[in-house]
Amino acid sequence: MRCYIDRLPGGRVATTFNDQLDQHGAWRREFALRLKLLAQWLKDHDLLDAAVEERLKRLESQVRTDKVMVAFVAEFSRGKSEMINAIFFAGYGRRIMPASAGRTTMCPTEMGYDADVPPCLRLLPIETRLQPQALMEWRMVPEKWVRVDLDVNNPQQLASSLEMVAQTRKVTQDEARALGFWNNQAAEDNPLIDAQGMVEVPKWRHALINIAHPLLKQGLVILDTPGLNAIGAEPELTVSLIPQAHAVVFILGADTGVTKSDLAIWREHLMPESGDTDARLVVLNKIDSLWDELSSDEQIQAQIDRQKASTAEILGIDAKRVIAVSAQKGLVGKVTDDVDLLQKSCLSMLEDALGVGVLEERQRILRAAMHTGVTDLRNETGRVINIRKRDLTEQTVELKGLQGKNVSVIKHMRSRISQEQAEFDLGGAKIHAVRSVHLKLLKEIFAILSARALKGEMAQLTDALMQKGLKLGVKRAYGETFERLRANMDKVQSLSADIQTMLTATFKQLNAEYGFSLQSINEPQLDIYLKDLELAERSHLQYLGISNVFKLAQPEFADRLVRALSTRLRAVHESALADVELWSKSAAAQLDAQLRERRRNFARRIEAIDRIQQATGGLQERLEDVAKQERAIDQLEIKLTELTSYLITANHESVSALDLEIA
């Protein structure tokens, strides 16, 4: 039995996911660098208005902080931690995540990298479940976490410290029930009771690992989740973290196939209602348990193929989404540089699926966003450059009209320019009135999407869930809440359209009266946030099935569920508000830019007339000066195109090949 794997020059095995993530990270760093160079150039040439600066900051932040989250989900003893070791940490030459026999990772564990935080393991005590705060709220209270500093250059210390995620503690049945690990209505899922009547539960509620691992530095975030009981007891995992993962790797045992608890995890927490399983990979791990010297490679492969087909049928997914591997043999093969064993483990097939299915799609989305953002930015800056070109052309025509004229004509010209300037300044009242209406409509939008409004919605939902007894109408309460949230988003879109209509009419009038070149910017399309609401609703509705009806009867559990939803919805509202604010700022900045350029134009025209009056030959000198400015403007336009071309096409030149010259 053999699995095909690629090899790099020199015979080195290509770890596809690692290599692609590294390339993606290099592209992101170069893109962020080029954005900084562009911002500096715009600033040096007085082209960096508030809207352009805000757009650049958002683009740079987006490309620098873009994350790729891969969630690993499995029941206990499926080899999940070993698989994480094999794919991501084999370079340490040993196991980093605890992967001994029996239960290992007992609490949800996130691994990532934040340059502002030293290498450490942070652990949130399980007792925090007795308090109402959601996980995201606890993240804001670092002093409540137990912190262990990590030495990333000492694999032994690193592995020893990370074993803490497997720690447990003994509690009474009542304590276990309060913590969410005991359910009288599902006795078969409850943990065992020892001779003293105590129950073993995880010591920690959540773990955060911050290390400067090369893959984590590139933006990878690994979410390692424990078994069914832990997932079911922590709503935020199901309704927030797992749904937002770019890929979910669901791990089964090749020797056991799909067990009852495996199927429960899949149906209750992972199977999307839409039926779209593109972000789901099912892995049959431990195929080495099927290796048998008395069986041929063909017979072993046939057995594995039958397991894959059976798994796909039971879970209702395409058989291509099921991959059979041996994480343990893959790890050994990498650590010992045993190419044959690594190939036989078929680990590269999973790495290929992650690299192609996850990273390529993530790169496509990010590059599309960068293309749109930089194109809009170039158009906005190009308009300012065109205003300057037009003003210089008008000055040239005006100055040439003075050739051969006497002093009185020149003096009259200066008086006419001053009069135009005074009339232009009087028009400011009209512009101020437009801005007042604009701000009034914006305030309505901000009120609809405000934290206060969302808090009111969540309070209403909480009241419905806090009614005593079984809450059989809970789905209706959620449905009504989401209907109102969607209606609010539709109202925001309608108000945005009203602002757009008003700005379009105003810009058209100002263009006619003052010769401006104002262009309406399309209002933000909020469809993406309606989709986010739909995804949030789906993830919660999956949680509100009959199997959870008794959990929902517990006030503390229902409260945690609403708090988890509130955290997710707050992020949706804040993102929508940011888009509206940027759009509004862009429209206002465009008007400000043209007002500013027009005032500068008046000042330059008056200055030119004064210089002509003061010196013989000043007219020709001024014409030459304007011509020089026109040539400089042409160069600005060329340079803008040059600096933004790479950003728009987003090709793969290396950072060392940067040839940007700040002119």
- How many other β-carbons are positioned within 10 Å of the β-carbon of residue 154? 12
How far CA 155 is from CA of 89, 336, 512, 642, in Å, comes to 10, 16, 71, 47
Across residues 536-545, what is the average pLDDT? 72
Q: How confident is the model at residue 541 (pLDDT cuts 50, 70, 90)?
A: confident
Q: What is the DSSP letter of 9?
A: G
More confident residue, 586 or 614: 586
Q: How many domains does the chain have?
A: 1
Between CA 314 and CA 250 the distance in angstroms is: 14
Full residue range of the structural domain in which residue 500 is found? 406-614
Residue 82 falls inside a structural domain: no
- Taking only the tens place, the pLDDT of each residue in 445-462 is 999 999 999 999 998 888
**Integer Cα distance of 369 and 451 in angstroms:** 27
Report whether pLDDT(350) > 50: yes
Q: Which of 282, 279, 227, 223 is nearest to 250 (CA)?
A: 282
The rounded distance, in Å, linking the Cα atoms of 485 and 483 is: 5
Work out the angle at residue 132's Cα, subtended by the Cα atoms of residues 129 and 136, and round it to the nearest 5 degrees.
Answer: 80
For 470-484, the pLDDT digits (tens) are 555 777 888 889 999
The first and second tokens of residue 460, run together, are 């209403």
**Spatial distance between the Cα atoms of 223 and 84, rounded to a whole number of angstroms:** 10
Separation of alpha carbons 17 and 334, rounded Å: 15
Q: Please state, rounded to an integer, the average pLDDT across all residues of the chain.
A: 81
> What band does 656 get if pLDDT is binned at 50, 70 and 90?
very low
pLDDT at residue 9, rounded to an integer? 34
CA separation for the pair 611, 617 (Å, rounded): 10
Amino acid at residue number 413? M
**Does residue 277 form part of some domain?**
no
For residue 255, being part of any structural domain is answered with no
Q: What is the pLDDT of residues 492-529, one digit of tens each?
A: 999 999 888 888 888 888 888 887 888 877 788 889 89
Distance CA 274, CA 192 (A): 37
Residue 532 lies in a domain: yes
Partners of 109 in the β-ladder: 207, 224
**pLDDT-based confidence at 651, cuts 50/70/90?**
very low
In a domain, 639, yes or no: no
Q: How far apart are CA 179 and CA 202, in angstroms?
A: 10
Residue showing tokens 């680990």: 347
Q: Is 513 within a domain?
A: yes
Instruction: Say if residue 12's pLDDT is above 70.
Output: no
Residue 1 lies inside a defined structural domain of this protein: no
Other Cβ atoms less than 10 A from the Cβ of 246: the count is 19
E strand or H helix at 527? helix 527-543
Residues 557, 473 contacting (CB under 8 angstroms): no
Least confident of 548-552, 620-624, 658-662: 658-662
Closest to 121 measured CA to CA, from 98, 145, 95 = 145
Among 149-163, 406-420, 558-572, name the one with the lowest average pLDDT: 406-420
pLDDT of residue 599: 84
Asked whether 141 and 249 are in contact (CB, 8 A), the reply is no
Q: Which CA distances in Å does 477 have to 116, 463, 531? A: 41, 10, 20
Whether the pLDDT of residue 595 is over 60: the answer is yes
Q: What pLDDT, in 10s, does the model give residues 103-130?
A: 566 788 999 998 888 999 999 999 998 8
Residue 556 lies in a domain: yes
Q: What is the pLDDT of residue 662?
A: 37
DSSP state at residue 406: -
